[in-house]
Amino acid sequence: MRSQTNLTQPQQASRRPRDPRQLVRLLYYARPYRALFTLGVVASLLSSGLNLIFPKFLGQLIDASFLRVGSTDTGPLDRTVLGLLGIFALSALFGAAQSYLLSRVGASVVADLRRSLFSHLLTLSPRFFGDHKTGDLTSRLTSDVGTVQTVTSTALAQLAAQGFTLIGSLILLVTTSPRLSLLTLAVIPLVIGTAFAIGFRIRKVSREVQDAVAAANADAEEAISGVQVVQSFTAEDLERGRYSSGVELSFLAGLRRAGLQALMSGTMSFLTFGALALVLWYGGRLVMSGAMTPGNLVTFLFYAMQVGGTVAGLTGIFNQFQEALGASSRIFELLDEHSDLPEAAVPVPLVRAEGRVRFDNVRFDYGGQPVLSGLNFEVEAGQVVALVGPSGAGKSTLVNLIPRFWDVTEGVLRVDGRDVRDYPLADLRRQVGLVPQETLLFSGTVAENIRYGRPDATWPEIEAAAQAANAHAFISAFEHGYETVVGERGVKLSGGQRQRIAIARAILKNPRILLLDEATSALDNESEVLVQSALERLMVGRTTFVIAHRLSTIRHADRILVMDSGRVVAEGTHEQLLAAGGLYRDLYDLQFRDSQVSQSAYHSTPQEVSV
């Protein structure tokens, strides 16, 4: 399925509308640097203006040399050469200033755009990330943003400079030789028409290249992040095939773009040099007839080459704009994404919650399919509530509604008597601590991971949180202690160690509402004892929702909610639910029977197990 999706993504993307006004939106990011940008444009214009003077001096140099044969007065020749040297020096100075200033603007704009895009991505809901591959998002954040850099810096300045040069060259061309000018200008409409015709196709194919690369990156990132699963199923060939398919699509699209760019380059080259040959032919006849001096012909040729060069340069700039338009459309697709978790018009601050949670006739649908329905219960502050039920009953979805990872479809979810949508999202989530089954640590140090929710935490507070989480001992045993780097996703630590660091992180955050999503189900017995002990300390005085697979771990919960098919089908204490029978009793008996079978198998000989 994944490879089929990748095959169609570039084709679908190429049909998306691209609004040229998106380039105007890009310029918004250059506004803070308009002073530097203006200086860069001025330097570019001055450099271009000096280049317009150069052919005139060159013509004078030719005439001073060839029309004064036998003369001993070298003054005109000397002055002309000195003038040329001055022009070259100033042009180089302004060119260097232009290059530095505009490069600085471009780098600044790209940095701001990346920060803005990343910041916006962090505001989007889990639903959005469930619908988009991480590799595609990172491709937009890196390569697509880099593609638009030339537009927000050098391309605009080049556009101004080339336009100025083109106008100046045309004026000087006509004043130098009106008859030769007509021959030269006849080629320009053909050049511009060709540039627009081929440039449109380049823009379309450039978008296909960007989408194909993003799709291949997404497949690669999935395979790399799950490399243990890939290797355990010996699926290396499958992943190679998927990635190769994406690379092949980008390769073919890149070939089409390269072919179009080569076609444009060759066409421009032929038209330019063909026109130059005609000018030399007709200009030579004018010199032979005495209608022009050799110097004027050389001056005209240089102005003609400047016209041809600026037209070619403008077509190149046009191509850059086409590529940037494709990249900017992908960028602004993300920036225009709106979170499906809107903030209240007049939010109510939540400084420190009591921890009362109430579900009033809550229903939640995902993708048009009902997941939760008819939830009506209240949890008092400080209570420990366990959620049990078969897989797919909706336990994790229920707890994910509390910090508003999702919003209810119908009904109201209240914290401290108010709809959770009345609170600022950040305020609400500061009151909630989550310890999931699959612990995610970031690729920093142990201390950085513990203080993740409280960057301002002091060192004694970090150590106290680690001690409460039964983590201080193993952390201190590391060679670098709390400065030990845990690796990407905490790969250098065991599952129990990662879980205890996650608990320390939650303890340091000091939330009022705690969500434990099967926090011990993937641990060995020794680690489970240590983690369970840490969790019991963490739960003291906090409203706690515990999703438990092992029913033995929730015997002492204040309440147990039994869920099935998105509904609460029973509730009570452990003893009450056992006495009442039903689903809870069935789950308990099943686990008790499985436990006996496991113990029996453990104490059996290998031959008995095989039988």
Encode pLDDT of 335-358 as tens digits.
888 877 888 888 899 989 999 999
**Do residues 122 and 254 both lie within one domain?**
yes
Paired with 57 in beta bridges are: none
Q: For residue 51, with 0-12 CB atoms within 10 Å meaning exposed, 13-18 middle and 19 or more buried, which class applies? A: buried
User: Which structural domain range is residue 123 located in?
Assistant: 21-335
Q: Is residue 298 part of a domain?
A: yes
Q: Is residue 289 part of a domain?
A: yes
With cut-offs at 50, 70 and 90, classify the pLDDT of residue 3: very low
pLDDT of 535 reads 78
Distances (CA, A) of 172 to 101, 158, 601: 30, 20, 97
What are the structure tokens assigned to 210, written together? 């960007």
Q: Is residue 268 part of a domain?
A: yes
pLDDT of 7 reads 36
**Do residues 554 and 420 both lie within one domain?**
yes
**Res. 428: pLDDT tops 90:** yes
Q: Is residue 599 part of a domain?
A: no
pLDDT of 605 reads 41
**Res. 32: pLDDT tops 80:** yes
**Do residues 384 and 290 both lie within one domain?**
no
pLDDT digits (tens, 9 = 90+) for 489-516: 777 888 888 888 888 888 888 889 999 8
Rounded to whole angstroms, how far apart are CA atoms 61 and 74? 11
**Do residues 331 and 418 both lie within one domain?**
no
User: Within its chain, how far is the Cα of 406 from the centroid?
Assistant: 22
Pairing of strands 357-366, 513-517: unpaired
Q: Specify whether the CB–CB gap between 321 and 154 falls below 8 A.
A: no
Percent with pLDDT over 70 in the chain: 86
pLDDT of 4 reads 39
Looking at every residue in the chain, the average pLDDT score rounds to 79
| Tally of domains within the chain | 2
Rounded to whole angstroms, how far apart are CA atoms 558 and 560? 7
pLDDT of 281 reads 83
Q: Specify whether the CB–CB gap between 131 and 367 falls below 8 A.
A: no
Overall pTM > 0.75: no
pLDDT of 447 reads 92
pLDDT of 371 reads 92
Q: Is residue 140 part of a domain?
A: yes
Torsion of CA 342, 344, 347, 349, to 10 degrees: -40
User: Could you give the 3-state DSSP secondary structure of residue 233?
Assistant: coil
**Res. 361: pLDDT tops 80:** yes
Q: Specify whether the CB–CB gap between 518 and 439 falls below 8 A.
A: no
Q: Is residue 345 part of a domain?
A: no
Q: Is residue 583 part of a domain?
A: no
The CATH number assigned to the domain holding 479 equals: 3.40.50.300
Greatest mean pLDDT range, 129-138, 196-205, 468-477: 468-477
User: Could you give the 3-state DSSP secondary structure of residue 559?
Assistant: strand
pLDDT digits (tens, 9 = 90+) for 522-580: 566 666 777 777 778 878 888 999 988 777 678 888 999 999 999 999 999 988 998 88
pLDDT of 604 reads 44
pLDDT of 364 reads 94
With cut-offs at 50, 70 and 90, classify the pLDDT of residue 68: low
**Do residues 247 and 370 both lie within one domain?**
no
pLDDT of 115 reads 87
The CATH number assigned to the domain holding 189 equals: 1.20.1560.10
**Do residues 286 and 371 both lie within one domain?**
no
**Res. 152: pLDDT tops 80:** no
Over residues 584-597, mean pLDDT: 71
**Do residues 261 and 384 both lie within one domain?**
no
**Do residues 82 and 156 both lie within one domain?**
yes
**Do residues 319 and 388 both lie within one domain?**
no
Q: Where are the alpha helices (DSSP H) in 178-293?
A: 178-185, 188-225, 227-232, 236-289
- Give the contacts of 356 (CB within 8 A, at least 6 positions apart): 378, 379, 380, 381, 414, 415, 416, 417, 543
**Do residues 40 and 96 both lie within one domain?**
yes
**Do residues 471 and 424 both lie within one domain?**
yes
**Do residues 317 and 384 both lie within one domain?**
no
Percent with pLDDT over 90 in the chain: 16
Q: Is residue 4 part of a domain?
A: no
Q: Taking the CB of residue 213, how many other CB atoms lie within 10 A of it?
A: 23
Name the domain boundary from 335, 370, 385: 335
Distances (CA, A) of 342 to 36, 350, 417, 496: 38, 17, 20, 37
